[in-house]
Amino acid sequence: METVIAASQPEVTVEALYRQDGERLWRAVFAFSGDAEVASDAVAEAYAQVLRRGTAVRDPGAWTWRAAFRIASGALKARRAGDRLPTVLSEHIDRYEDPDLLDAVRRLPDGQRAAVILFYFADLPINQIAARLGSNSVAVRANLGRGRRRLRQLLGDD
Amino acid sequence: MDKLRQRFAALDRMPVPDVWSDAMRRAEELTMPAATGAKVTLASPTAVARPRSGAGMLVAVLVTIALIAILAVGGLAVGSWFTDQQRLAPVVAPSATATLPHATPRSAAPSTVPAGAAGPLIVFLRHGQGSGHPPADLWAIHADGSGAEDIFPGLGLPSVAWSPDGKRLLAVSEYRVYLAQVTGDGVGPFVDTGFDTGGATACNHKTGHRNPCQDAAFTFAPDGEHIAFVQRCTWSAPGCMFITTMDLRTGERTELTETQRNARHGVALPAWSPDGSSIAFTTETNQFLSESEVPIAKLSIVDADGRNLRRLDLGNLSVAAPQWSPDGNLIAFTSGAWLGDVFVQDIYTVRPDGSDLRQLTTDGVSAWPEWTGSNQIRFRHGGAGQQADSSTTIWLMDPDGSNAHQVAELGTTWGEVANQMSWIGVPGDPGRSLFWQPAP
């Protein structure tokens, strides 16, 4: 997945970026948050921030992913006190053909959940996951390993 | 294809709402006048995510006016001083905030954190909170916990490095290289070198990727005039991540593209040997930690000109954060592994030829070694997961692992600063969340 975007026309090119990458980002944030409203708000806010900042953002493709995950994470923290998502998933999950997977994903802590989604769905390497989460490679490795094992336990894939 | 990956791939068939119109509307809101009715001009990306209070805005305006007035009288004295000191060319004069396109220095005056008076300075990044992409502030504090100060607010995609003599501090924000002198009077000001790390690279033609490469893990050469860093151009074209060096006198970049050979995804954490001849770094491989899909990172060394790449055979150890001893005879590093359901990490040393591998710690919570000027190893002990936090302690030990003892407890020593350690860190720069000033 590459981001090709010219810097001279921010609005036009950011929309091009959205058309190219926005759906995939939305799905990833939805898998992370388990909430379509959170996903839509986070993705819209991320692209709005890129639009506002224009050429100050040098890599809009990576930037929007990081921003969207941070926004979604903040929204989730505001909604709950614990480290797990609410037990009732968004109704949007009914439109997903593998609800068991998302149900298992939502049981992971934030860090593991984000690492698993970016690794398995977004197909990013460890370094890129770290950069997009504002974390580091070792933490991502740890979260990915734990998240994967926990996920397989929950899905009965052991 | 992995079963989990197959199941996640089903997400691609999920219907998605179009939120572009929401993004456009929100972008317009972001440019609207503030609620007070006053028109607020957000001159830098920093201001978008870090709205100031009314008092803060007033202070910022007054500081800017004072800066302009001082510099108008002084004839760009600060820029001249820096140029004379560092022989940098070209240097963009730090005459006003307008000359700093990506970030704004706190002030043209030195910080109030005096260097040396209360132990070495430690700098760290504190990431902003809240929604969006909050920039990071660069903070300095003494090892005894005194004098904590925000010395460079609003860095985007930040990286930090100390010069070997501890007299210069490098900060990178949005691909722009800034340098500050560190004297007994304090840190700063940060001066825009005019050098950009994210220019066209060897991978641009391969990928059609017109955006700059991401960069991280900056480190100084022993001569204090060169830096090395990781350049990550794309994740979709294998091998488009490599070590790059830059001459801080001219801004000239040299891509050591050979470093990407045998790297599954990329390279990380370069460390320059004390004699300047070699650079150690890690590469992610196609081997995996047991019962895991997490790739093993190997320790590699390459000559500083990019030739003579060699990978050290350290068995199944996964290597992070290599650091050369002052005499160049040893490389200390962290290695982590799964033990049951727990990720453990310890510190090792090895000679640059791959011989004499030794495990120095066995507690499973020791990581990120740094060599002190007295040839001891300072390392991080404990903490939540792999991140430093208020429960983290700092230890010292001899190069053979003996005489290990605690020298600082972050939660006690650094008080409120340590309590926010979870926001401290450098993306893509594992473990180096604390940057200790080298002994002058």
Helices then strands, counting H and E runs in chain A, come out as 7, 0
pLDDT in tens, B155-166: 876 788 999 999
- What is the C-alpha to C-alpha distance for residues B28 and B186, in angstroms, rounded to an integer? 42
The DSSP element (H or E) to which B306 belongs, if any, is none
Minimum Cα–Cα distance from B102: chain A residue: A56
What band does B171 get if pLDDT is binned at 50, 70 and 90? very high
Nearest to A127 among B11, B266, B343 (CB): B266
Which residue, among B32, B131, B19, B132, has the nearest Cα to A44 in the 3D structure?
B19
B24: chain A residues, CB-CB within 8 Å: 48, 51
pLDDT the model gives residue B91 = 23
Backbone angles phi, psi at B297, to 5 degrees: -100, 130
Judged by average pLDDT, the poorest of B109-118, B331-340, B401-410 is B109-118
Pairing relationship of beta strands B358-359 and B226-232 according to DSSP bridges: unpaired
A4–B45 C-beta distance less than 8 A: no
Residue B266: pLDDT over 50:
yes
Distance from CA of A86 to the nearest CA of B (A): 20
Residue B37: pLDDT over 70:
no
For residues B386-409, average pLDDT: 82
What band does A117 get if pLDDT is binned at 50, 70 and 90? very high
Minimum Cα–Cα distance from A139: chain B residue: B386
CB pairs under 8 A between A and B: 230
Bridge partners (DSSP) listed for residue B279: B272, B302
B9: chain A residues, CB-CB within 8 Å: 121
Judged by average pLDDT, the poorest of B15-24, B58-67, B303-312 is B58-67
pLDDT the model gives residue B376 = 94
Q: Which of A12-16, A41-45, A50-54, B222-226 has the highest mean pLDDT?
A: B222-226
A139–B26 C-beta distance less than 8 A: no
A49–B30 C-beta distance less than 8 A: yes
For residues B273-295, average pLDDT: 78
The DSSP element (H or E) to which B377 belongs, if any, is strand B377-381
Share of chain B above pLDDT 70, in %: 60
Helix (H, G, I), strand (E, B) or coil at B11: helix
Judged by average pLDDT, the poorest of A81-90, A99-108, B180-189, B399-408 is A81-90
Q: What are the CA-CA distances from residue B301 to residues B2, B52, B278, B371, B377 (Å)?
A: 33, 46, 7, 18, 21
Residue A89: pLDDT over 70:
no
- What is the C-alpha to C-alpha distance for residues B107 and B130, in angstroms, rounded to an integer? 25
Helix (H, G, I), strand (E, B) or coil at B303: strand
A137–B428 C-beta distance less than 8 A: yes
For residues A24-51, average pLDDT: 87
B234: chain A residues, CB-CB within 8 Å: 2
Nearest to B30 among A48, A56, A62 (CB): A48
Tokens at residue B364, please?
């499973």
Q: Which of B66-70, B92-96, B201-205 has the highest mean pLDDT?
A: B201-205
pLDDT in tens, B197-234: 876 666 655 444 444 566 778 999 999 999 999 887 65
pLDDT the model gives residue B233 = 65
A126–B343 C-beta distance less than 8 A: no
pLDDT the model gives residue B358 = 96
Residue B426: pLDDT over 90:
no
pLDDT the model gives residue B352 = 97
Judged by average pLDDT, the poorest of A97-101, B290-294, B308-312 is B290-294
Residue B92: pLDDT over 50:
no
Q: What are the CA-CA distances from residue B10 to residues A114, B3, B108, B330 (Å)?
A: 17, 11, 54, 49
If contacts are CB pairs under 8 Å, which of residues 55-84 in chain A contact chain B? 56-63, 66-67, 70-71, 74-75
For residues B161-180, average pLDDT: 90
ipTM given for this complex: 0.81
Residue B259: pLDDT over 70:
yes
Query: Please, what is the Cα angle at B230 between B350 and B241, to 5 degrees?
Result: 105
B211–A3 C-beta distance less than 8 A: yes
For residues B313-319, average pLDDT: 87
B42: chain A residues, CB-CB within 8 Å: 52
Which residue, among B185, B202, B294, B184, has the nearest Cα to B241 in the 3D structure?
B202
pLDDT the model gives residue B399 = 95
For residues B161-184, average pLDDT: 90
pLDDT the model gives residue A79 = 63
A12: chain B residues, CB-CB within 8 Å: none
Taking the Cβ of residue A139 and every Cβ of chain B, the question of whether any pair is shorter than 8 Å is answered with: yes
Distance from CA of A59 to the nearest CA of B (A): 6
pLDDT the model gives residue B143 = 82
B274 upstream amide cis, omega within 30 of 0: no
Average pLDDT over chain A, rounded to an integer: 75
What band does B28 get if pLDDT is binned at 50, 70 and 90? confident
- The model's pTM is 0.58
Tally of CB atoms within 10 A around B238: 14
Minimum Cα–Cα distance from B268: chain A residue: A127
pLDDT the model gives residue A153 = 86
What band does B31 get if pLDDT is binned at 50, 70 and 90? low
**Cβ atoms of residues A3 and B211 within 8 Å:** yes
For residues B390-397, average pLDDT: 82
pLDDT in tens, B321-355: 899 999 999 999 998 876 665 667 889 999 999 99
Q: What are the CA-CA distances from residue B215 to residues A129, B238, B263, B349, B425 (Å)?
A: 14, 17, 17, 27, 15
pLDDT the model gives residue B199 = 64
Residue B129: pLDDT over 60:
no
B157–A121 C-beta distance less than 8 A: no
Taking the Cβ of residue A126 and every Cβ of chain B, the question of whether any pair is shorter than 8 Å is answered with: yes
pLDDT the model gives residue B409 = 80
Helix (H, G, I), strand (E, B) or coil at B89: coil
A143: chain B residues, CB-CB within 8 Å: 385
Which residue, among B317, B340, B432, B349, has the nearest Cα to B386 in the 3D structure?
B432
Minimum Cα–Cα distance from A149: chain B residue: B292
Tokens at residue B83, please?
């140029």
Judged by average pLDDT, the poorest of A97-111, B12-26, B283-297, B357-371 is B283-297
- What is the C-alpha to C-alpha distance for residues B163 and B182, in angstroms, rounded to an integer? 10
Nearest to B27 among A43, A48, A128 (CB): A48
Nearest to A121 among B8, B48, B129 (CB): B8
What band does B402 get if pLDDT is binned at 50, 70 and 90? very high
A148: chain B residues, CB-CB within 8 Å: 4, 292-293
Distance from CA of B421 to the nearest CA of A (A): 12
pLDDT the model gives residue B17 = 84
Taking the Cβ of residue B43 and every Cβ of chain A, the question of whether any pair is shorter than 8 Å is answered with: no
Nearest to A120 among B8, B232, B284 (CB): B8
Better pLDDT: A34 or A82? A34
pLDDT the model gives residue B124 = 84
Residue B67: pLDDT over 90:
no
Which residue, among B260, B189, B186, B197, has the nearest Cα to B227 in the 3D structure?
B197
Sign for the CA dihedral angle at B362, B366, B370, B372 comes to negative
**Cβ atoms of residues B241 and B230 within 8 Å:** yes
